[in-house]
Amino acid sequence: GSENSDLHVIFFPFFAKGHIIPCVDLARVFVSRGVRSTIVTTTLNAPLISRIIGKSQIALTTIKFPPPEETGLQEGCENSEAALAPDKLIKFMKATMLLQHPFEQMLQELHPDCVVADMFFPWATDSAAKFGIPRIVFHGLGFFPLCVSACIRTYKPQDKVSSYTEPFLVPNLPGEITVTKMQLPQIPRHDEVFSKLLDDCNESELKSFGVIANSFYELEPVYADHYSKELGRRAWSLGPVFLSKKDTEEKAIRGIEAGIEEHECLKWLETKKPDSVIYLCFGSMTTFPDAQLKEIAMGLEASNHPFIWVVSNKGSKKNEEEGDEKKLEWLPEGFEERMEGKGLIIRGWAPQVLILDHEAVGGFVTHCGWNSTLEGVCAGVPMVTWPMYAEQFYNAKFVRDIARIGVGVGVQTWVGMMGGEPVKKEVIEKAVKRVMEGEEAEEMRKRAKELAKKAREAVEEGGSSYSQFNSLIQDLRSRTH
Ligand code: UDP
């Protein structure tokens, strides 16, 4: 309530939807507990964020992105979607470092009590320190990927292996977790600036006041404890933050150009039996080569389950080149006619949380971005894991081996990024059947539903995430006073 209204917290999300969405939801959590909350972003990102904030009492303030002559980027390139090509992405990451000065000017003006900044802004710890303000890091991740990342960055086991495909053990981590070099977030970029940035993130995290995890204690108690007790990082789990959008009306992420009308999508789902539909979506950044899209289509048809499949607006490389005008020409011959009423393809942004929460949806094929992973958990559906990049390989391991609510498609790296064979239709068919049919699916579904229940209890008054919020406020107060 109002007892926290003397506190003002600044949130500074990285410029990508997968970072902005949970950060706005986190700010909603703070607002719901009476804390004054302001999101800081750049001028061109402000309209999108403003629409995502919607009716919530979150303030928005802007700083200027450095101009093209300082960044080498073209005008208007202020978020990672605009900077998706590898050469641009590195320039973009460098450009964000130039935000330190305007960010500090903003701090001087607003003098908040705390800065919650994205992990990709390692310099924010120093900026906050200049004003005697605590900096908290928000990755938007849960404890398992946080632990794996921390151990990889601290002990660098990858430096001792030459093979990109041979699994090695992540040191100082419970559960004998192995990864390959090819699956590390820094590898596909092959860039020293990017690797150094990730190292800086790790260091600035250690110097920071602590880390907010988008998780709840009951989901991953071993790794929550390990993170603070063994890896020595102060952390508060306040999630799942997307549950802060309580009202069904508010559940979908509004303000992003939709690929379908919500009611149309829900009406379609109403015609389907409970747990009969498989939902496929690969996050906000992924594109597949046409050959892969075709295999997915054939796999879905063979699985014989109704489906909702989100194909990002970029959809196919070819469509992108041809200005998105071309139809879904990579689909197998006659696919759309045969799938009439049975499959729904959404081109563009889908109301993912509403879809997942619908009782007709019984499984989720996901790229395992942490937001999607948590949304799948909270919907109580088993998942087919299809990781691409960043921490997604870690998250996929979590879903399959730790929470035991999913099966993999066996990808070792991102097809679009490093070449490699597309996942074949038979593999996709089999994975879909494994999460939709039979005893194994039922057991996974049962475990997922239990976690979903615990997630909702965690954010309610007296729940673990609710209580963690109190400790965070206490920690902040004991520091500031
Ligand atoms: N999302 C959505 N509709 C879409 C694609 C994505 O609502 O068509 C949302 C999804 O629910 C999640 C976020 O966008 O909250 C994606 O974040 P995630 O961490 O899963 O993946 P990323 O996009 O960062 O790779």
Q: Relative to the CA of 366, which ligand 1 atom is closest?
A: 20
In whole angstroms, give the CA distance from residue 160 to residue 92. Answer: 30
Pocket test for ligand 1, best of 52, 284, 357 (most atoms within 8 A of CB): 284
pLDDT at 317: 47
pLDDT digits (tens, 9 = 90+) for 38-97: 999 999 999 999 999 998 999 999 999 999 999 999 988 998 888 877 778 888 999 999
| Helix and strand totals (H; E) in the chain | 21, 15
Interval 459-467 mean pLDDT: 97
Q: What 8-state DSSP symbol labels residue 462?
A: T
pLDDT digits (tens, 9 = 90+) for 146-175: 999 999 989 999 999 999 889 999 999 999
The yes-or-no verdict on residue 481 having pLDDT over 80 is no
Helix runs in 348-414, H state only:
352-357, 370-379, 392-397
Q: What is the pTM of this model?
A: 0.95
Q: How many Cβ atoms sit within 10 Å of the Cβ of residue 479?
A: 13
**ipTM, 2 decimals?**
1.00
Active site residues: 19, 118
pLDDT at 42: 97
The first and second tokens of residue 196, run together, are 């150094």
The first and second tokens of residue 85, run together, are 């090509």
**Better-scored residue on pLDDT, 256 or 103:** 103
What is the Cβ-side half-sphere exposure of residue 384, based on CA atoms within 13 angstroms? 27
Interval 104-130 mean pLDDT: 97
**Cα 84 to ligand 1 centroid, rounded to whole Å:** 16
pLDDT digits (tens, 9 = 90+) for 232-288: 999 999 999 999 987 666 777 777 888 888 899 999 999 999 999 999 999 998 888
Which residue's C-alpha comes closest to atom 7 of ligand 1?
A: 352
Pocket test for ligand 1, best of 23, 26, 372 (most atoms within 8 A of CB): 372
Q: Average pLDDT of the chain?
A: 91
Phi and psi at 279, nearest 5°, equal -110, 130
Interval 220-242 mean pLDDT: 97
pLDDT at 315: 44
Place of tokens 């919500």: 262
pLDDT at 414: 65
Q: Relative to the CA of 390, which ligand 1 atom is closest?
A: 25
**Pocket of ligand 1 contains residue 375 by CB under 6 Å:** yes
pLDDT at 424: 95
In whole angstroms, give the CA distance from residue 190 to residue 396. Answer: 23
**Pocket of ligand 1 contains residue 20 by CB under 6 Å:** no
pLDDT at 411: 87
In whole angstroms, give the CA distance from residue 141 to residue 240. Answer: 10
The first and second tokens of residue 377, run together, are 């958990």
